[in-house]
Amino acid sequence: MRAARALVPIAAILAAGVVYAACSAGGPSAQKGDASLSPAAQREIAQVEAEIDRIEASTLQRVAAPPDNQVQQVELLGKLLLYDKQLSVNRNEACTLCHMPETGFTGPVSELNRTTGSYPGSVRTRFSNRKPQTHSYAPLAPVLHFNRAQGDMVGGNFWDMRATGRRLGNPAAEQAQGPPTNPVEMGLPDSACAVYRASQRPYRGMFETVWGKQAFAIAWPRNVDQVCNTPGPPTAADPLPVHLSPLDRGRAAATFDQMAQSIAGYEASAEVTPFSSKYDAVQGGKAKFTAQEQAGYALFRGKARCNECHRDGGPGEEPMFTDFTASNIGTPANPRLPYYAENRPDAQGYAANPAGRSYVDGGVGVFLAGGAVLSRPSAVDARWAGQAAGNMGRVRVPTLRNVDKRPYPAFVKAYGHNGYFTSLKAIVHYYNTRDALPRCKANDPGEGKTCWPAPETTQNMNTSKMGRLGLTDAEEDAIVAFMKTLSDGFTPVG
Ligand code: HEC
Ligand code: HEC
């Protein structure tokens, strides 16, 4: 929703935009950094990987007798791709390492959520700059557009809306083309590598049934394995290191589109996007809120103003708990992000974050200004450059569906684009008291209770709808109780 727009000087846009681009600087030695994984995190990651392997194996069994319905075939393919570790450079990371069902399709490693906030890539020393969003409900985001009457950019996927959906007609499909070649995620040096790896998988035949025999009819160069086993990014001199004929390049690109569309098809399916929460059951007259949940819902829509951005629908609108616009709520920086230390070339010579400690996430504004980003699955529309200043520091309003879904009560989830918050109570307390409590001092024991750190950026920060809500402790708890009704998989009693 709209915040009062502060004017941002053009210099600030440029400064934010070049954060990733000024890449050549950096020390000569590969840095170990503080990004190495703790034993506790390694143990949990191993468990999640075993679960991913189990799901992939059992899903592959369905390929032998596939559904005869084409939409169901697409969904099955999408699931196989999402759980496929072979699509990452070191064959160790599926999409789902960062998006598992038991957490509502976001990060499944409690220890990482509690500590680093972000997740390691296929190259395990490289961490992303942001917390994984949920990928359920993502295909229902509108294609990114400018709403002139509201003065708002609306839609897209990613915190910064940069998967626009304008080329494939679906933001989530374009989103799925980001991670495979993102150097801090699945790390392939060329999108053709994802196609090559898929061509070697047992689901190849089903892919050809759905999308056509041409899909993998590609003459791969002899060195394709070696090229695809080398972590990206590619060099500027050879940006597409899998050397293909123009025709084969076109086929590989079309097949990559179809892989992405299959993934988005699965994400939109009833398995991932089911509208099966207690909230939905209550709306359908099949369940009743407790008194506390009901009070929380009333506050959510009233005094606490949450509904002005996390919309529960309206005439002709589904309750998505986001209005798909962008805001800056003033979330503090998360100093635990290993990304801040990724300022020196690693063993492969790559530095994800040359700005180091001074990195500030400029969100939607950086994308609109054409600034450097870690992956760019959708082209920037230069006609939107004028919207960049007003969107600096803003990120897309996340859906609150499944925001509390977790495998067991002590499991920690991270919230906000940088994972600064680690409980729903904390973020509600923040909305309530951001502007009412003093700034924390260094190592202040009251952080999160009696004081708050400075926002990561105050650019375009929303000051009209939050910060001093005057909620009591019990009212904060009621809002948390309401948000817990948004977890899918609720079974009405009786
Ligand atoms: C290493 C962790 C990681 C991996 C692997 C990963 N993601 Fe994500 N995912 C993230 C992060 C972090 C974000 C937010 C990134 C941003 O905003 O720049 C995200 C965002 C998304 C979103 C956007 C949701 C929305 O509402 O806008 C979707 C959809 C998604 N991921 C699906 C996928 C798919 C499909 C794959 C595999 C092709 C994948 N992810 C692989 C971490 C990961
Ligand atoms: C002006 C729009 C706006 C209002 C009003 C608002 N939010 Fe948010 N909310 C956002 C944005 C934007 C984010 C992402 C913030 C970030 O990443 O820094 C967010 C993030 C969240 C998250 C974290 C979700 C996740 O997956 O990381 C929760 C929970 C949340 N809001 C709950 C609430 C509640 C409860 C209220 C009312 C007390 C509220 N919001 C009011 C815009 C808003």
96 C-beta closer than 6 A to ligand 2: no
The closest residue, in CA terms, to atom 2 on ligand 2 is 309
* pLDDT the model gives residue 410: 98
428 C-beta closer than 6 A to ligand 2: yes
How many other β-carbons are positioned within 10 Å of the β-carbon of residue 217?
13
In tens, the pLDDT along 257-293 reads: 999 999 999 999 999 999 999 999 999 999 999 999 9
Which residue from 157, 329, 394, 477 has its CB within 8 A of the most atoms of ligand 2, so it is best to mutate?
Answer: 329
In tens, the pLDDT along 349-371 reads: 999 999 999 999 999 999 999 99
Instruction: Identify residue 401 by its one-letter amino acid code.
Output: R
What is the whole-number distance in angstroms between the Cα of residue 397 and the centre of ligand 2?
6
Pick the closest to residue 100 from 76, 83, 81 (CA basis). Answer: 83
Rounded CA separation 398/322 (Å): 6
The closest residue, in CA terms, to atom 26 on ligand 2 is 415
**Assigned token pair, 408:** 């067991």
Q: With 90 as the cut, is the pLDDT of residue 460 above it?
A: yes
Angstrom CA distances, 188 to 178, 225, 435, stand at: 11, 11, 44
In tens, the pLDDT along 145-176 reads: 999 999 999 999 999 999 999 999 999 999 99
Considering every ligand atom, which ligand is closest to the CA of 52? 1
* pLDDT the model gives residue 387: 97
Which residue from 327, 399, 469, 471 has its CB within 8 A of the most atoms of ligand 2, so it is best to mutate?
Answer: 327
* pLDDT the model gives residue 25: 33
Q: Which atom of ligand 1 is nearest to the CA of 396?
A: 27
Rounded CA separation 287/274 (Å): 17
Burial class (CB in 10 A: 0-12, 13-18, 19+), 423: middle
84 C-beta closer than 6 A to ligand 1: no
The closest residue, in CA terms, to atom 31 on ligand 1 is 135
* pLDDT the model gives residue 177: 98
- State the chain's mean pLDDT as an integer: 93
In tens, the pLDDT along 55-106 reads: 999 999 999 999 999 999 999 999 999 999 999 999 999 999 999 999 999 9
Phi-psi region of 164 (alpha: psi -120 to 50; beta: other; left: phi over 0): alpha
Task: Give the least confident one: 45-49, 141-145, 201-205, 312-316.
Answer: 312-316
The rounded percent of the chain whose pLDDT value lies above 70 is 93
In tens, the pLDDT along 100-136 reads: 999 999 999 999 999 999 999 999 999 999 999 999 9
For 73-106, b where at least 16 C-beta lie within 10 A, e where not — what string? bbbbbbbbbbbbbebbbeebbbbbbbbbbebbbb
179 C-beta closer than 6 A to ligand 1: yes
In tens, the pLDDT along 361-418 reads: 999 999 999 998 999 999 999 999 999 999 999 999 999 999 999 999 999 999 999 9
Pick the closest to residue 183 from 230, 243, 249, 236 (CA basis). Answer: 230
Pick the closest to residue 392 from 449, 345, 458 (CA basis). Answer: 458
Taking the chain, what is the end-to-end CA distance rounded to the nearest angstrom? 40
Residues in the chain: 494
The closest residue, in CA terms, to atom 14 on ligand 1 is 132
* pLDDT the model gives residue 315: 83
Question: Are the C-beta atoms of 403 and 320 separated by less than 8 Å?
Answer: no
Question: Are the C-beta atoms of 430 and 334 separated by less than 8 Å?
Answer: no
Q: With 50 as the cut, is the pLDDT of residue 16 above it?
A: no
